[in-house]
Chains A and B, each alone.
Chain A
Amino acid sequence: MMVASNDFGTTKVAFDKVNKFYGPFQALRDVTLSVTTGEVVVLIGASGSGKSTLIRCVNGLETFHSGSLVVEGFSMPTIKDLEFGGGEKALRQIRRGVGMVFQQFNLFPHKTVMENIALAPMRVRGKSREEAQATAMRLLERVGLRDHAQKYPGMLSGGQQQRVAIARSLAMEPHVMLFDEPTSALDPELVGEVLDVMRELRTEGMTMMIVTHEMAFAREVADRVIYMDKGAIVEEGPPAQIFDKPISDRTRTFLSRVLKH
């Protein structure tokens, strides 16, 4: 329902030799990666390996120092572009087509669930209040939270909040969805309801980049799994290959550590 036709060929996101530094620390090393329409890419790796940095580049929450990143045909401005005052427009253009879901939900606590979802369509896409609220209601129904529209986020459980956050992103009708550890802040019994919504998105053909520690889920939904270490992509491939016959020793060590638990 939400996936628009793809006007930019089959490549939605294309990293080419992207490098990123925090001061002297290199957070991304020569990252080259492309994601095609409808593909679900799952990023795994130890904490601090640069997964968040990588997916946050896709909607410009992080800038990078060298290389290129093209999202839906728009070239992501580099740090230099932004320094000289350019690029802000391209950035907002890109963000209209890319939704993001955060580990900490980041719902707006002073706005109701309905307002959280309807605000951006009204302010960014210029929709009327009625239209935005109707869409919001449809999305709430879809994530199973119809009755919570008038509540404030603080009155909901973590799982419900995260589903609202997903609905809020979807309201902007994105072509690509980014998920940065969407279930890591949730109690175990609430993880399932969020994963269900993501599964549904997948069956609808949404292009997704997901950072997660839910390995079973990764194996189930991923078209491609990417293992990262120290800012670099170490290994990528279909889940069966990465999880069952990893080529790299580092991947094997990592998996043996996380799969034990």
Chain B
Amino acid sequence: MIIATLHSWARRNLFANLIDSILSILIVTALGWLLTVFLRWVIWDAYWQRIYESLRLFLVGQFPEDQTWRAWVALALLCTAVGAVLLPWSRRLGVAIWLIACGAAVFVLVPPGLDRWGGLLLSIMLTVVVSTASLPLGILFAFGRSSRNPSLRACCTGYIEVMRSVPLILVVYWIWITVPLFMPEVSISSLARGMIGYTVFNAAYVAEYVRSGLQAVPRGQREAARSLGMSNWTISTEIVLPQALRVVQPALVGNVLDVFNGATLVFIIGLMDFLRAGQLILVDPAASGQTNEVYLFMFAVYFVIGSAITFGSRRMEAHMHRSTR
């Protein structure tokens, strides 16, 4: 039965005519060959011992060994946070738990010093902090840019357009340099400055997504709310913003992925994120033969995390639609 179905499917899709048949055979053969070669390398030829030995560097960088428990606690907290926003319960509660759990994760990781964060730990924490901080900022700028007040509107528009027209590295580097110049008496770690710079940059993108969501809310929604006598504050927070965020939720999750992938650029201010850790491992002459292993490993990790974020986004979308169908 299944074979018959498969047979007719193949007939219809792969062997509909002569050219299709030839193409199908060629592609299937080529793919099969590549896969065989690849798997053979992965299973027999690759030297995974190196990855295993460097795992610590990959995952937490120079984080003190006797403090590793902090990383585990932070991981558990982050999983709680993610779970809270994925579960189809009250969104308000989900956001509250997210904020508390992420804040606690930062709190737990701080004592050894921000400069000790590295590897995947750094990449993930950077992503979490920057994405979380960008959202409220982005929302404020989006409202500012849609405001009726011309000077406020001009300021927000200017900020957004400038940030969107320059590279991330420039902003991160610039803030890294200038913050100590303005505040010479306090020392702020590179990572904190990097987070500030990245947030300042990313908030502009979030603002544009949110603004497109604000525009997507039908005019009748505001009119109905106004005719009920609601204040502008109530209209914005209860009626317009929730609907706007629903519309742009996929884009915002995509932005989290962008932040995660872009986080590698903080090496410019001397931080060692996940990708940088891999490069450092390869600098060691003993490991120079394992380029492929190291890169394949990093590929796999990025792919898994990226897919997880995308999957999470789908789930959020799904139960959002279920509730407002």
Spell out A's residues near B (CB within 8 Å): 59-61, 92, 95-96, 98-100, 102, 104, 106-110, 119-120, 123-124, 152, 154-155, 165, 168-169, 172, 178
Could you list 29 A-B pairs, sorted by A, with CB under 8 Å?
A: A59-B227, A61-B223, A92-B231, A95-B227, A95-B229, A96-B229, A99-B228, A100-B224, A100-B227, A102-B224, A104-B218, A106-B220, A106-B224, A108-B221, A108-B225, A108-B243, A109-B324, A110-B243, A120-B225, A120-B228, A120-B230, A123-B230, A123-B234, A152-B324, A154-B324, A168-B228, A169-B227, A172-B228, A178-B227
Interface centre among B225, B228, B234, B246 (most CB of A within 10 A): B228
B325 at the interface (CB under 8 A from A): yes
Q: A123-B234, A123-B238, A154-B325 are in contact. Are A108 and B224 (CB under 8 A)?
A: yes
Besides A107-B224, A108-B239, 17 other A-B contacts (C-beta < 8 A): A59-B226, A95-B228, A95-B229, A108-B224, A108-B225, A108-B243, A110-B243, A119-B228, A119-B230, A120-B228, A120-B229, A120-B230, A123-B238, A152-B324, A154-B325, A169-B228, A172-B228
Give A190 Cβ to nearest chain B Cβ, in Å.
19
Measured between beta carbons, the chain B residues less than 8 angstroms from A178 are: 227
Measured between beta carbons, the chain B residues less than 8 angstroms from A104 are: 218, 220
Give A75 Cβ to nearest chain B Cβ, in Å.
17
B242 at the interface (CB under 8 A from A): yes
Measured between beta carbons, the chain A residues less than 8 angstroms from B224 are: 100, 102, 106-108, 165
Measured between beta carbons, the chain A residues less than 8 angstroms from B225 are: 108, 120
We find that the number of chain B residues with CB closer than 8 angstroms to chain A is 21
B17 at the interface (CB under 8 A from A): no
Measured between beta carbons, the chain B residues less than 8 angstroms from A154 are: 324-325
B187 at the interface (CB under 8 A from A): no
Give A210 Cβ to nearest chain B Cβ, in Å.
15
Which residue on A lies nearest to B325, using beta carbons? A154
Spell out B's residues near A (CB within 8 Å): 218, 220-221, 223-231, 234, 238-239, 242-243, 246, 323-325
Contact B221 A106 (CB under 8 A): yes
Q: How far is the CA of A175 from the CA of B278 in the complex (A)?
A: 71
Contact B325 A155 (CB under 8 A): yes
Q: How far is the CA of A168 from the CA of B225 in the complex (A)?
A: 10
Contact A110 B325 (CB under 8 A): no
Measured between beta carbons, the chain A residues less than 8 angstroms from B220 are: 102, 104, 106
Q: How far is the CA of A172 from the CA of B230 in the complex (A)?
A: 11
Measured between beta carbons, the chain A residues less than 8 angstroms from B323 are: 152
Q: How far is the CA of A106 from the CA of B235 in the complex (A)?
A: 13
Q: Given B227, B234, B324, which contacts A98 in the complex, CB threshold below 8 Å?
A: B227
Q: How far is the CA of A78 from the CA of B280 in the complex (A)?
A: 69
Q: How far is the CA of A98 from the CA of B226 in the complex (A)?
A: 11
Q: How far is the CA of A223 from the CA of B234 in the complex (A)?
A: 37
